[in-house]
Amino acid sequence: MDEFFDKVSDTVMTAGKVVSDKAKNVTDITKTKYEITTKQNELKAKYALIGERFFEENKDNHDESYDEIFADIEQLKDDIEDLNDRIVNLKGAKLCPSCGAEVSEKANFCNKCGASLN
Ligand SMILES: [Zn+2]
């Protein structure tokens, strides 16, 4: 009888260990996926740095095969500038022509650089 209970006990303990190993593996998989995502995001950021540098170094002189993407980038930069201007307008503000600081629409002088705004 003791042998029977020992066997049952062993089986239960083994099953418990399998369950806890599986749970640990699930946790490790989640952690590892998070690490992969983090590394992929770092990789994307590095590629973006190279892309930005390539753009700045070649925007005035590049192979015509890049014409479309360079034009797209210029358009996107213009669009972002326009959208930022829209926000400044919606806030009832304007940008200092001298330093670019956001100042009240009614201000006569820039409160950052002191430039005259009239
Ligand atoms: Zn200013």
Of the candidates 83, 80, 73, which has an alpha carbon nearest to the alpha carbon of residue 52? 73
More confident residue, 51 or 12: 51
Mean pLDDT, rounded, for 24-46? 97
- Kindly give the distance from the C-alpha atom of residue 102 to the centroid of ligand 1, in angstroms, as a whole number: 8
Q: Does residue 23 have a pLDDT over 80?
A: yes
- Kindly give the distance from the C-alpha atom of residue 101 to the centroid of ligand 1, in angstroms, as a whole number: 5
Residues 88 and 30: their CA atoms lie apart, in Å, by 43
* Burial (CB count within 10 angstroms: exposed 0-12, middle 13-18, buried 19+), residue 55: middle
Residues 16 and 47: their CA atoms lie apart, in Å, by 46
Residues 56 and 87: their CA atoms lie apart, in Å, by 27
- Kindly give the distance from the C-alpha atom of residue 115 to the centroid of ligand 1, in angstroms, as a whole number: 5
Check: CB of residue 103 under 8 Å from CB of residue 93: yes
Mean pLDDT, rounded, for 81-93? 94
- Kindly give the distance from the C-alpha atom of residue 91 to the centroid of ligand 1, in angstroms, as a whole number: 17
Q: Does residue 14 have a pLDDT over 70?
A: yes
pLDDT of residue 1: 64
**Considering the entire predicted model, what is its pTM?**
0.64
- Kindly give the distance from the C-alpha atom of residue 88 to the centroid of ligand 1, in angstroms, as a whole number: 15
Residues 6+ apart with CB under 8 A from 74: 59
Q: Does residue 8 have a pLDDT over 90?
A: no
- Kindly give the distance from the C-alpha atom of residue 111 to the centroid of ligand 1, in angstroms, as a whole number: 7
Mean pLDDT, rounded, for 95-99? 94
